[in-house]
Amino acid sequence: MRKTVIRWLGWLAWCLPAAAQVPLPVMPWPERVEVRPGSLAIDASLSIGLFGAGAADPRVQEAARRTLARLARQTGLPIVPREAGSASNATLRIVVEQRDHRPPQRLGDDERYSLEASNAGLRLSADTPLGALRGLETLLQLIQQSSVNAPTPGFSVPFVEIRDEPRFPWRGLSLDVSRHFIPADGIKRTIDGLAAVKLNVLHWHLSDDQGFRVESKKYPRLHQFGSEGQYYTQAEIRDVVAYARARGVRVVPEFDIPGHASSWLPGYPSLGSRPGPFRVVRERGDPPGLIDPTKESTYRFLDAFLGEMAKLFPDEYFHIGGDEVNPREWSSEPRILAFIKRQRLGDARGLQAYFNRRLEQILARHGKRMVGWDEVVHPDLPKSVVIQSWRGEKSLAEAARAGYRGILSAGYYLDLMQPASQHYMVDPLKGETAALEADERKRILGGEAAMWEELATAENLDAKLWPRLAAIAERFWSPESVTDVASMYDRLEITNHWLEWLGLTPRSNLRRMRQRLAGTMPAAALDAFASVLEPVKGYERHRNGYGASMALNRLVDAIPPESDSAREFAKAVEGYLAAPNAARADALRQQLAAWLESAQQVRPVLEKNSLLTENLPLDDALVMLCRAGTEALSFQADPPPADWKPRTLAAVQDATKHYASLMIAIAPPVQKLVDAVP
């Protein structure tokens, strides 16, 4: 009887228009969320019952066990992982209609699920094991500390009904492990994160000029001469692929050819389009050497090598790179020019198309569909190829109109240190792609964030990826209408917390790095100082040179790409300037006073430690900014001395520059405050 009443009350409950109100810390936001008053207590007695044909699926059983273990970690409740029973009085009932018989997960596999929390318990339903995996991640995000009015303190799930499915079928991360190697445990940790935000593709960029990262048994000199000992064994690859599959993540390997391939050549110089010897590139700069597409021996090599890799990576798709080929590397060789002429390929671009066509045939023979970057598009290339666009929506739209399916990566380059909001507003179906016909639009499969590793290492990778990657994941999964930036940031902050529970280190590793920088001194002042800094954006830092032998242990390596406190300060400044009042001015003044204090406290720490001294000019600038902002606030009523404004503006302007690859993120809002002085 009571149940019925609750259910009827339920229909009176509010239905949330997408993420606009954000009462739930869920990321990405589900397709449809209904919240009802009340909540279900979660305690150590939580049990899971599996139902339906899919209950027998090992992926579902493993996920149920994992859920209990994660719940114990997340709540501190003494939940002992138990074999999932089928008891119909289980607290969490998981109904999975179908068992998953096909070994590799495919593009477009059904990921729908529905989830209900009510007085009757928790119920998760899905047609497929994959849907159940997605639903369990949502459930884990819903478990929060109970309201203080709950009968006993602890954790609970709000009464909720969720129906969810993804907007795009291809939602990935392209991860470079060539420029800096990420050991297998870092890849697994990343997969945990991908699965938690419902991304479903790890695009593993396994070779580039700076390193060849996979063991080849057919051509062992690839990893022996191309990796400096930093590569994945085939056993590790298999382990990672299985780990990803268990979490509903496809692994698409990339071996970038014919450019970005100089790490292949030290071991096999005869593959090169010019004479060797070659060495692995450790520093910045255009490396010499492309794969030679004119020799039949090249194709025999690739056939054997790709055949070996095709077995190692079960996914249907296989990425061959194909980007940034320097035509002069070919056109400077008379032998190759002669081949182009003989084969009537026109130019180097035509030669690359010829190479790609042969590659596509080789991959097809090994049961794979080819993926490549924008540059592979060519009238001669079959329409089965999937195009990954780093060039932008225009290039993607052209490919779609030409009949290719495509995924967008332009706008999602996490290594450029842009704020989450910027990536969040990029949509695979906005801009040029928005104008596509319905049929052509269907060819846009989704997108991939990209992380290039020139300036990141296994140590700070998590902080460079997260939490921004969660915002991109929301773009790929959630309805197009979910665009509220404030809500996104609120939920991103909470995402940071539960990523740590999941074993990732988006914040804790940076803290540890800052403690290293502070040496034997306490790190608190450095943490406060660092909280208003951001790394320079774009390719600015790359221009100073980078390389494998460079230590990435400076302050710029130990801070997040985006300063949360500067963003909030900028918002507060805007609020104040739009409608000034004493309370708002006071809040700004207090914040500036606090930063001024930490700028003073950090000084001995910067002076004492050799890795930190380069940041002293930033500290001077921060002191100046805090004073300028405070003065500006005091001058809003009474006008300042005549020379104050130009003098201060010049100084503030100067502080928007960067030192030691760092920027003071509060400089622009302080500039606004000074600008507003009459």
Check binding of 147 to its own copies (CB under 8 A). yes
Residue 176 DSSP code: E
Is the Cβ of residue 78 or residue 285 nearer to its own copies in the bound state? 78
Is the Cβ of residue 390 or residue 452 nearer to its own copies in the bound state? 452
CB of 585 to its own copies, least distance (A): 20
Active site residue 324: yes
CB of 143 to its own copies, least distance (A): 11
Query: Tokens representing 243?
Result: 């780990």
Q: Percentage helix, strand, coil, to 5, in the chain?
A: 45, 15, 40
**388 Cβ contact partners less than 8 Å away, ≥ 6 residues apart:** 174, 203, 319, 371, 372, 373, 374, 406, 407, 409, 448
Binding-site residue total for its own copies (CB under 8 A)? 51
Q: Which helix (H) or strand (E) holds 161?
A: strand 155-164
Is the Cβ of residue 58 or residue 519 nearer to its own copies in the bound state? 519
Stretch 171-210 residues interacting with its own copies (CB under 8 A): none
Query: Tokens representing 5?
Result: 């009443």
CB of 615 to its own copies, least distance (A): 11
CA distance 262 to 273: 10
Check binding of 553 to its own copies (CB under 8 A). yes
The three-state secondary structure class of 596 is helix
Secondary structure, 3-state, 77-107: CCCCCCCCECCCCCCEEEEECCCCCCCCCCC
Instruction: Quote the strand ranges of 209-287, DSSP E.
Output: 211-212, 250-255
Stretch 498-517 residues interacting with its own copies (CB under 8 A): 500-501, 508, 511-513, 515-517
Binding segment toward its own copies, per CB under 8 A, in 124-132, 296-304, 552-560, 575-583: 552-560
Is the Cβ of residue 553 or residue 656 nearer to its own copies in the bound state? 553
CB of 436 to its own copies, least distance (A): 40
CA distance 629 to 637: 14
Site track 2-41 with its own copies (rule: CB under 8 A), x = hit: -----------------------x----------------
Check binding of 421 to its own copies (CB under 8 A). no
CA distance 15 to 394: 37
Q: Which of 61, 67, 146, 671 binds its own copies (CB under 8 A)?
A: 146
Q: Which helix (H) or strand (E) holds 156?
A: strand 155-164
Is the Cβ of residue 74 or residue 200 nearer to its own copies in the bound state? 74
* Whether 202 contacts 515, CB under 8 Å: no
Q: Is the dihedral of CA 236, 237, 238, 239 positive or negative?
A: positive
Catalytic residue among 97, 111, 228, 324: 324
Is the Cβ of residue 73 or residue 300 nearer to its own copies in the bound state? 73
Q: Which of 353, 494, 526, 566 binds its own copies (CB under 8 A)?
A: 494
Q: Which of 607, 634, 647, 653 binds its own copies (CB under 8 A)?
A: 607
CB of 27 to its own copies, least distance (A): 12
Check binding of 144 to its own copies (CB under 8 A). yes
Query: Tokens representing 205?
Result: 């960029």
Is the Cβ of residue 286 or residue 607 nearer to its own copies in the bound state? 607
Q: What is the largest CA-CA distance in the chain?
A: 87
Binding segment toward its own copies, per CB under 8 A, in 7-15, 126-134, 424-432, 604-612: 604-612
Helices (H), 155-246: 184-196, 221-226, 234-246
Check binding of 228 to its own copies (CB under 8 A). yes
Q: Which of 233, 361, 613, 634 binds its own copies (CB under 8 A)?
A: 613
Name residue 637's amino acid.
A
Stretch 253-312 residues interacting with its own copies (CB under 8 A): none
**631 Cβ contact partners less than 8 Å away, ≥ 6 residues apart:** 640, 644, 648
447: closest CA among 174, 632, 263, 668? 174
Helices (H), 602-638: 603-608, 616-634
Within 10 A of 212 (CB to CB), how many other CB atoms are there?
31
CB of 197 to its own copies, least distance (A): 17
Is the Cβ of residue 319 or residue 514 nearer to its own copies in the bound state? 514
* Whether 96 contacts 126, CB under 8 Å: yes
Site track 43-82 with its own copies (rule: CB under 8 A), x = hit: -x----------------------------xxxxxx-xxx
Secondary structure, 3-state, 448-470: EEEECCCCCCCCCHHHHHCCHHH
Binding segment toward its own copies, per CB under 8 A, in 140-148, 239-247, 434-442, 471-479: 140-148
Check binding of 571 to its own copies (CB under 8 A). no
Which residues contact its own copies by CB under 8 A? 25, 44, 73-78, 80-82, 144-148, 150, 153-154, 228-230, 457, 459, 494, 497, 500-501, 508, 511-513, 515-517, 519-520, 548-553, 557, 607-611, 613-614
- Residues marked active site are found at 324
